[in-house]
Structure 1
Amino acid sequence: MVAGEVVGARRETVALPVPVLLVVAGFAAAVVAQGGYYLPGRVMSGLLVGVAVVLARPRPNVVAALGGVFALWAGVRGLLEGDVVSALPTMAAAGVFAGAVLVVAQADREQRELLATVVVGVGALVALTGWVAVVFRIQSWTTVSEGLLRASSTLTYPNAAAAVMAAAAVLSLVLKRTLLTSLMAFLLCTGIGTTMSRAAAIALMAGLLVLCVFSGFKKTVAAAAPPLFGAVVAVVALLPTMRAADEPRYLAAVAGLVAGALVALWLHKLGRYAVLVPVFGAAALIGFADRLSSRVTFSSPDRSGATGAALELIARSPLLGTGPGNASLFFEQGNQGTRFMRYVHNEYLQVLVELGAVGLVLALGVVVAVLVAMWRGRGTPLWAGAMAGVVVLLVHSGFDFLWHLPVVLIVAGICAGLGFPSTEDGIVEGTEA
């Protein structure tokens, strides 16, 4: 099987091993527990992944070793600051990611294909609940930002939900094309639109570029165009409902979702008229430009102010950082006076602030080790989707605080593990990197 092909059908007897099922359970637990950001969700998802590692008994590799050193450094910095407890979330985050990688890497190819389908399915449910939340004004599943209702689903943070959906979306494009997988891909693309996440849009484009390189331009366009075009129709129909001050347009939103699904399923039957879909979308965006002006610009005063404050903290302690949990970012913002932010909305910069250059080098070492190990597993269509998913999350992490949510770390670990050399290649992964 070569990278230009589509993932084929699985044998009827394929089943996920118990450790992999526990990683999936950890993923699902984090999805319903606000991304696992708060203590109960963090403990539950971490415990499930931890038990999975114990049952799988993987042999340590470079990824696990570097992740362990990174976690150890976070603990040392917490100890030096007199607050080891503040380092526990960072240490747990490294453990959850590395654990998911080690467990998933032990699955064979057909098990990985089934796991990828499960991840795509969960992502599609996140997308659908986000759409429902916007249309029916479910406050706990939406976020009002600059007058717009942005879908956040059960994760309660739009950008985190968008990151999960974007990673799942590129995975969905390498699955065998069926009615179900086509609908899931459409829902994922629509869900990204309902979050109005600029970072997710950029990250998704990066993922599609990776697929173009490793799966071929024509095959990627053929797989991505139907769900993307369908999502354009569904999101455009949702725009009149997305402004918080307006009354929801239930019929228009539902009709748009149905029409978008039909476009996604039967775009090929539109022939040359298919070009009218993006034209229609562009015209609608222009019509709603006044409502969407805040989401179609790269300007973000809060992020800019937080970045400036972070750079000041780095200048004070470039090597060791402020210590985990000690990045208090204060900055002036015009008439609003002094503002405070806890996160820089750039995980690489966040690590540099809290754990210094030492922590950033270790974190980047983990990233490089993952990419090197994944490169050894290249050659299958699922690998291309997994690599695209990892790139999506790496790019998106430069714009948001994603590593603080176990749900994102587990998805990243799953994608990385899916791309490791398969056991069918005669390599028991989790043994070396």
Structure 2
Amino acid sequence: MSLVDPLVQQRFSASTLALLAAVTAGVVAQGGFYLPGRIVASVLALVSLGLAVREGARFDRGLRWIAVTGAAIVLWAGVRAAMTGGWGTAGGIALSLLVLLAGVVVARRASAADLATGLTGIGALVAVTGWAGVAWRIERWSVLVESTIWRAASTLTYPNAAAAVLAVAGLLALALLLAEPRSLGRAWVLYLILAGLGATLSRAGGLAFAAGVLLFLIFAPVRQVLRHLAPALLGAGIAVAALVPSFPVAAEPDPLLALAGLAVGGLVAVHLPRLHGRWLAAAWGLVLAAAVGGLAFLLTRPLPARLEAVSRRRFTLDSRGRSGALRSALDQAAAHPLLGSGPGQARYFWQDYSGQLVASRWAHNEYLQWLVDLGAVGLVPLAALAVAIVVLLRRGRAGGATPLLWTGAVAALAALAVHSAFDFLWELAVVPLLIGVLIGLAARSHGEEPSAPSINGEVPA
């Protein structure tokens, strides 16, 4: 596979701009979790669909299968809502699937490079605002978790949701950088997104991003991936380390140190891949020596109170909320294994970190949540939808979709699939929209590329 892909260079179409506006609205309106934000993001997505149809978008067999399986899901959710209640949740499922379909249609018609660039730009804004929220304790952009540590959340106001968006944006940014390895702008965008992802302190977000990177290592040149990703991760690590004094609630934030760390990390992330030969070897030698020295220093001394507060909460596999919700959800799934409890009817109970009883509508695992709500019968059309998506993705790869952007989109889909096992992401309107956009980016073919804009009826060379 060639490293430099023939990315389509074209002005943003009206449907692409409307689609990016829908994603932006979803991100700004707390992910579209609440009804007003969901309505705005969904309406903009449907407007983009209408514009794409007007521009010549086609509904082929692959899209029809997605529509049919989605309709089966909606039908079953409606049947269960008629039996148990939960029409609001059933309606939300229908709207989410419609928005997902809109994302697929518009993304297949859009310029892949333009759309991916727009999404990474949105991701960079989410990252910077989340990072600033921690560095300056801006409550609109950061969240105090368990009365212990501040975590980046940006306008989504939920750190794990912000991490999901940033994982998607980071994988697309990596694809764009691999396609244009000399671009300073793309290198800075990838670095900022990874720094923002680290500032969320989301374990699920980090695991999801790692799953996406694994696909890159399978489908893209390993040496080139590591050449650009390793410095970006190193730089992001420096930036997050400089945020450590600002994470614990018991300490005063240190924005000057955070700014210095962001600047130094950026220089490492952006300029280290541009070194060659002895300069590159010397630079990595200094980096490894600094890392070994820092690790030895930490191992010979007790952890500072600020670092200990962060490590005790985030660098552990223990999560009382998720494990408690998991046990509660498994009990309810066992009680109604075939038909489910009905859309949105289940409630989950567990004890939090302080021993207090917690009640929630969400199981922090979308697959288990689906089983609880709609039963094993409801899993059948969901699995059929997944199969239809995989078939469409395979057709996109065989049909000529840009290889690196195909890899980036599929890696981002894998990241969302992994993250969905740890959070209630599908309840946010922006996530089904992103899923649809990623499917559309990966399901392109040569015949679906927009034609170049003409001048006086002639197509420029």
CA deviations 1:356-403 (Å, max 9, x no partner) are: 112222223222221221122226111111111110111111111100
SS at match of 1:377: helix
In 2, Cα distance between equivalents of 1:201 and 1:284: 26
Which runs of 5 or more residues in structure 2 are unaligned?
276-282, 452-461
Whether the 8 Å CA contact 2:66–2:389 is kept in 1: the answer is yes
- 2:420 aligned residue: 397
- 2:286 aligned residue: 273
- Choose the corresponding residue for 2:231, options 223, 226, 229: 226
Amino acid at match of 1:141: W
In 1, Cα distance between equivalents of 2:105 and 2:428: 19
Amino acid at match of 1:151: A
Distance 1:405 1:333, change over 3 A: closer
Whether the 8 Å CA contact 2:109–2:448 is kept in 1: the answer is no
- Choose the corresponding residue for 2:345, options 326, 329, 334: 326
What aligned pairs does 1:44-59 form with structure 2 within 5 A after superposition? 44-57=40-53, 58-59=58-59
Which runs of 5 or more residues in structure 1 are unaligned?
429-433
**Does 2:132 correspond to 1:119?**
no
Aligned-pair CA distance for 1:197? 0.2
Whether the 8 Å CA contact 1:421–1:427 is kept in 2: the answer is no
- 1:150 aligned residue: 151
In 2, Cα distance between equivalents of 1:319 and 1:427: 46
**Does 2:92 correspond to 1:89?**
yes
Aligned-pair CA distance for 1:223? 2.2
Whether the 8 Å CA contact 1:75–1:91 is kept in 2: the answer is no
The list of structure 1 runs, each at least 4 consecutive aligned residues, that deviate by more than 6 angstroms after superposition, is 283-286, 425-428
In 2, Cα distance between equivalents of 1:425 and 1:335: 55
- 2:279 aligned residue: none
- Choose the corresponding residue for 2:4, options 3, 6, 9: 6
In 1, Cα distance between equivalents of 2:342 and 2:395: 36
CA deviations 1:153-196 (Å, max 9, x no partner) are: 00001001000101110111111231111111001100111000
SS at match of 1:293: helix
In 1, Cα distance between equivalents of 2:151 and 2:296: 21
Q: CA RMSD in A?
A: 2.2
Aligned-pair CA distance for 1:218? 1.1
Whether the 8 Å CA contact 2:119–2:169 is kept in 1: the answer is yes
SS at match of 2:444: coil
SS at match of 1:244: coil
Count of residues paired in the alignment: 421
- 1:140 aligned residue: 140
Whether the 8 Å CA contact 2:248–2:309 is kept in 1: the answer is no
- Choose the corresponding residue for 1:383, options 392, 397, 406: 406
- Normalising by structure 2, report the TM-score: 0.86
- 1:244 aligned residue: 249
In 2, Cα distance between equivalents of 1:343 and 1:309: 10
Aligned-pair CA distance for 1:273? 2.5
- 1:307 aligned residue: 326
Whether the 8 Å CA contact 1:155–1:161 is kept in 2: the answer is yes
Aligned-pair CA distance for 1:271? 4.1
Amino acid at match of 2:270: L
Deviates more, 1:273-282 or 1:87-96: 273-282
In 1, Cα distance between equivalents of 2:362 and 2:293: 38
**Does 2:56 correspond to 1:62?**
no
Deviates more, 1:260-269 or 1:398-407: 260-269
Amino acid at match of 2:108: A
- Identity over aligned pairs, percent: 41
**Does 2:33 correspond to 1:32?**
no
Distance 1:277 1:100, change over 3 A: farther
CA deviations 1:216-262 (Å, max 9, x no partner) are: 21121112112111101100011111111211112110000000110
Amino acid at match of 1:185: L
Amino acid at match of 2:207: I
Q: Which has the larger radius of gyration?
A: 2
- 1:431 aligned residue: none
In 2, Cα distance between equivalents of 1:272 and 1:261: 18
Distance 1:254 1:426, change over 3 A: closer
- Normalising by structure 1, report the TM-score: 0.91
